[in-house]
Amino acid sequence: MEHAVELIAIFVAGFWAGMINVVVGSGTLVTFPTLVLFGYPPLVANVSNNIGLVGGGISGTYGYRHELAGKRELLRWLLPASVLGGIVGALLLLVLPESAFKAIVPVLIGIGLLMVVAGPALQRRAARRRGTADSGTLSTRRLVAVVAGTFVLGMYGGYFGAAQGILVVGLLSVLTAESLQAITGVKNLLTTGVNAVAAATFMIVAWHSVDWKVVALIAAGATLGGFAGARFGRRLSPRLLRSIIVVIGTVAIVRLVFFD
C-alpha cells in the first residue's frame, strides 16, 4: 500500500508540475520536494526529475505552437544560447554543491517577479521612444542583453531549474515588446530545450544517478499536465496570467526560504 501511494503521489506531482510549468514555471518546486520526501537522494531526485519533466515541456510547447508563429528570428538567437547554458549548468550540477545555487534561488525568483510586474510599463515606455507601440525589432544592445540573459538562465535551468520559467518571462517582459502569451510560448520552448540537453547530459555522464521508475512516472504525469496547462493557460488574460505568476512565484520564495 505504501509503495502504491508513493507511485500515485509521484505521478500526480508530475502532472501538477507539467501543468504549472506550461503556464508559469516552477514545477520543479512540486516534484523535487515530493521525491526527497519519499527518501530519494537529492542528486538522484534532481536528475530523474529533470529527465521526466521533458515530456511536459514538449506537450506544453506543442500546445503553444500558435503563439510561436513568427518568432523564428528571435528564437534563432535565444534557443542556442539557452541550450548551451543548459549544458554548462548540467555539468556544474555534477561538480558543485547544490547549496551553491539554491542559496540565491529566492533572490532570483524575486527579481523575476519584479520584472514580470514592471514589464508592461517598461514595454510601453520603450515603444514610445521608438515611436511605435507594436515593434518587435530589438536593438543590438537589447538583443545582446536578451541573449546573455537567456544563456545565464539556461545555465541556471540546467543546474537546478526551480522557477526558471518565471525568470525567463521576466527577462523577456522587460527587454522585448512581445505579448505575455507569446512570451509564454517562447519560454516553454526555451525551458524545454534546457531540460532536454540537461537530460541528455545526465544520461551520458551520470547514468548511475537516474531512477527510471521516477522518470517514467513524472514523464507520464508531466506530459498530460503539459497538454492540460496549455489548454488552460492560453485562455488567460495577460493581467490574470501575470497575477498567477506573481502568486506562484511568491509561494515558491516562501517555501524555499522557510520550508527548505
pLDDT score at 228: 93
| pLDDT over 90, % of the chain | 39
For residue 227 the three cell numbers come to 497538454
Query: Is residue 122 exposed (0-12), middle (13-18) or buried (19+ Cβ within 10 Å)?
Result: middle
Question: Do the beta carbons of residue 220 and residue 12 sit within 8 Å?
Answer: no
pLDDT score at 112: 72
pLDDT of 184-195, one tens digit each?
999 999 999 999
Which residues lie closer than 8 Å to 205 by C-beta, 6 or more apart? 91, 94
Q: Give the residue-averaged pLDDT of 94-122.
A: 72
**Has this prediction a pTM greater than 0.95?**
no
pLDDT score at 260: 59
pLDDT category at 78 given cuts 50, 70, 90 is very high
pLDDT of 114-171, one tens digit each?
877 776 776 567 556 555 544 556 788 889 999 999 999 999 888 877 678 888 888 8
Q: Is the per-residue pLDDT at 259 higher than 50?
A: yes
Q: Is the per-residue pLDDT at 222 higher than 90?
A: yes
pLDDT category at 59 given cuts 50, 70, 90 is very high
Q: Give the three-state DSSP class for 40.
A: coil
Q: Give the residue-averaged pLDDT of 211-220.
A: 96
pLDDT of 29-45, one tens digit each?
788 888 888 888 888 98
Average pLDDT, the chain: 84
Query: Is residue 217 exposed (0-12), middle (13-18) or buried (19+ Cβ within 10 Å)?
Result: buried
